[in-house]
């Protein structure tokens, strides 16, 4: 390596070449998530036209050749010559980072795309992209390949309307997989239709002839009703909308369940980590209910935020001219002034609503008081279990086979169903950094239980103690004893059920574990194939077919594991415990709304939802344990 370091060693990467060199800096990664971010950037431009009041229709088509079209009836990207750059504005938008109409608030007062890099990034990472613009009674066309202009802007026809049509094919030299997932795009579009009342959005998949169309005149009121579908609600949705310097729109509705589902958005971006808008709403809600209780002599009780949010489904949507998102992923709103604005609006609205609708106020107060009583019962149960030593981290559960390492960042905890499988796991583990905690059978379904029941459940109390962080408001990630919590269950239907119960527990009582990337699911083999004295361990049916085709099925012996207990310690070590060979799935909350809905379907009170889910997906099951 040369010791010389001068100006000639400095690389200047111009234009969108930087995007192609380091795509992950702009779209997160080059896997499924990054691929679909390309679509999101194009759709966001159309939504910005909706927010500006010039668009009410968006059409998405996934074509058979793998390309995708995003069309809107907005104003159309400008095509006239830019006075300084001497190029068509369209060409600048498509090929120049930080070129757009979203910086001075003249063209867009509100926008989700703030940096002007959106569609130029999509262009840079596409094998080819074609854009058609309908403006001034003409249809303009231009084509790009790998982000480079390959045709001049030209008129190809006449049009009576305005709008933009973008069609592109992702670059297969950049992305691991360029097959668009219909469901990922469909869920995002449905969400956008809820958040923008009156917009028509359709998506067609030409590969499967599937088409979905969305139009919600009720907007986020429809959103809340859908999330509360098949639940026993306490009243009609509470709705408020106020627009001054920012636009605040909130819909909320209580049901008789125990879990809360709160989703916040800023400029149509799902702020998964919340932020100042959500903080302002929480503060005003708790204050309003507590003041009504005190004023109307409900008793000497002080409610917490968790108490007043029990059984509540809420959508918080704000439209902000200059949003400040914490982090490039835009998952937390940081504008300090938003908290006070939202809090003031919500407090005024709820105070008036409670005075004018005492029946609604009483139902909310009674439910919140009931939640507070359960919280007090949970505190007593927690103190009782602590006195017994169950929740005392200094007195770790006897059935925990702990590891020797004391640095939590190097430690793993395997949660294993059954003493037999745990015994095999203890023999197979590396005792230096791997701990084993057996649980017995199917744990408490926390989707149907309040927090006081959690502390009375021995299996969950043992799990809480072993992890060390506490739960709910007591949760402290700094007390986490293992940075990898790994669910290890049988690869059959019972094992999947237990895994779902455990994930439900973490999602509802320790969501920070998932958000911080500490929760994993091990992937034990489902089959063992032996041929010519060589063993192959297979994790699913698709992989089984592939391996059998590769090695020739003749004289191959296939056996199916009924459970982890059937594996000896060498097999478990090789396939599940070994850091070199194992496959772990990290549990994430990429789409909190979908996750919340799925837990409600699989683990909630409504049998009909589960029956419908089973009916829809039963045909995909090849092996069922009965």
From CA 315, how far away is CA 52, in angstroms rounded? Answer: 22
Active site residue 492: yes
Cβ(172)–Cβ(30) under 8 Å? no
**Across 267-305, where does the E strand assignment appear?**
269-270
C-alpha dist (Å) from residue 2 to 5, 6, 9, 273, 472: 8, 11, 11, 46, 56
Tell me whether strands 200-205 and 163-170 are parallel, antiparallel or unpaired: unpaired
Burial 546-560 (b: 16+ CB within 10 A, else e): ebbeeeeeeeeeeee
- Token code pair at residue 85: 């750059």
Alpha-helical segments (H) within 3-137: 17-21, 24-27, 32-51, 89-95, 118-124
The one catalytic residue among 490, 574, 596, 597: 490
- How would you classify residue 364: left for phi > 0, otherwise alpha for psi between -120 and 50, otherwise beta? alpha
Cβ(557)–Cβ(529) under 8 Å? yes
Cβ(500)–Cβ(492) under 8 Å? no
Burial 292-310 (b: 16+ CB within 10 A, else e): bbeeeebeeeebeebbbbb
Helices first, then strands: H and E counts in the chain = 20, 22
Nearest to 90 by CA among 166, 16, 185: 166
Specify which residues 59 forms β-bridges with.
71, 202
The one catalytic residue among 226, 256, 306, 492: 492
Active site residue 181: no
Tell the residue number behind the tokens 């998949």, with chain if given.
205
The one catalytic residue among 278, 417, 447, 571: 417
From CA 390, how far away is CA 383, in angstroms rounded? Answer: 10
Q: Running DSSP on this structure, what letter comes out for residue 92?
A: H
The one catalytic residue among 291, 494, 543, 569: 494
Query: Can you tell me whether residue 280 is helix, strand or coil?
Result: helix
Active site residue 490: yes
Instruction: Point out the residues that are catalytic.
Output: 417, 490, 492, 494
């Amino acid at each position: 390596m040369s010791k010389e370091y001068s100006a000639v060693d400095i690389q200047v990467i111009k234009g969108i070449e930087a995007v192609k060199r380091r795509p992950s800096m702009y779209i997160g990664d080059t896997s499924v998530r990054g691929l679909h971010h390309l679509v999101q950037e194009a759709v966001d431009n159309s939504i910005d036209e909706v927010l500006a009041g010039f668009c009410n229709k968006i059409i998405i088509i996934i074509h058979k050749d793998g390309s995708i079209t995003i069309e809107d009836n907005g104003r159309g990207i400008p095509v006239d010559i830019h006075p300084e750059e001497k190029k068509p504005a369209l060409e600048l938008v498509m090929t120049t980072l930080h070129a757009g109409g979203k910086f001075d608030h003249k063209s867009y007062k509100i926008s989700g795309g703030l940096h002007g890099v959106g569609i130029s990034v999509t262009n840079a990472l596409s094998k080819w992209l074609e854009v058609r613009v309908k403006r001034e009674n003409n249809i303009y066309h231009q084509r790009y390949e790998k982000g480079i202009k390959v045709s001049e802007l030209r008129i190809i026809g006449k049009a009576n309307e305005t709008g933009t049509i973008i069609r592109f094919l992702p670059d297969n030299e950049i992305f691991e997989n360029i097959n668009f997932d219909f469901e990922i795009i469909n869920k995002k579009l449905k969400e956008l239709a809820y958040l923008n009342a009156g917009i028509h959005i359709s998506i067609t998949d030409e590969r499967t002839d599937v088409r979905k169309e969305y139009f919600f005149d009720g907007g986020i009121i429809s959103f809340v009703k859908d999330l509360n579908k098949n639940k026993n609600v306490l009243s009609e949705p509470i709705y408020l909308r106020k627009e001054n310097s920012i636009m605040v729109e909130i819909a909320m509705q209580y049901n008789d369940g125990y879990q809360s589902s709160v989703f916040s958005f800023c400029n149509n971006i799902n702020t998964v980590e919340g932020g100042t808008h959500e903080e302002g709403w929480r503060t005003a809600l708790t204050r309003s209910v507590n003041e009504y209780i005190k004023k109307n002599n409900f008793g000497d009780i002080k409610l917490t935020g968790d108490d007043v949010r029990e059984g509540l489904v809420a959508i918080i949507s704000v439209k902000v001219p200059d949003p400040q998102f914490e982090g490039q992923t835009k998952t937390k709103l940081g504008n300090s002034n938003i908290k006070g604005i939202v809090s003031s609006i919500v407090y005024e609205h709820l105070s008036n609503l409670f005075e004018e609708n005492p029946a609604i106020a009483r139902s909310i107060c009674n439910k919140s008081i009931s939640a507070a009583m359960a919280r007090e019962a949970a505190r007593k149960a927690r103190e009782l279990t602590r006195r017994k030593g169950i929740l005392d981290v200094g007195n770790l559960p006897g059935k925990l086979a702990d590891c020797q390492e004391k640095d939590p960042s190097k430690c793993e905890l395997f949660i294993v169903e059954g003493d037999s499988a745990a015994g095999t796991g203890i023999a197979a583990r590396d005792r230096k950094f791997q701990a084993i905690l057996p649980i017995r059978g199917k744990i408490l379904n926390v989707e149907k239980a309040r927090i006081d029941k959690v502390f009375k459940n021995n299996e969950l109390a043992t799990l809480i103690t072993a992890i060390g962080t506490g739960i709910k408001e007591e949760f402290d990630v700094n007390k986490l004893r293992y940075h990898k919590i790994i669910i290890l269950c049988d690869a059959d239907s019972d094992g999947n059920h237990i895994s779902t119960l455990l994930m439900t527990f973490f999602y509802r009582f320790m969501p920070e574990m998932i958000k911080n990337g500490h929760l994993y699911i091990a992937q034990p083999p489902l089959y063992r194939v032996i041929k010519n004295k060589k063993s192959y361990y297979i994790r699913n049916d698709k992989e089984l077919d592939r391996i059998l085709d590769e090695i020739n099925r003749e004289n191959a012996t296939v056996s199916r594991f009924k459970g982890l207990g059937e594996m000896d310690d060498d097999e478990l070590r090789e396939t599940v415990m070994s850091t070199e060979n194992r496959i772990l799935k990290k549990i994430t909350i990429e789409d909190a709304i979908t996750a919340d809905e799925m837990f409600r379907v699989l683990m909630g009170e409504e049998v009909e939802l589960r029956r419908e889910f089973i009916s829809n997906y039963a045909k995909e099951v090849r092996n069922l344990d009965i």
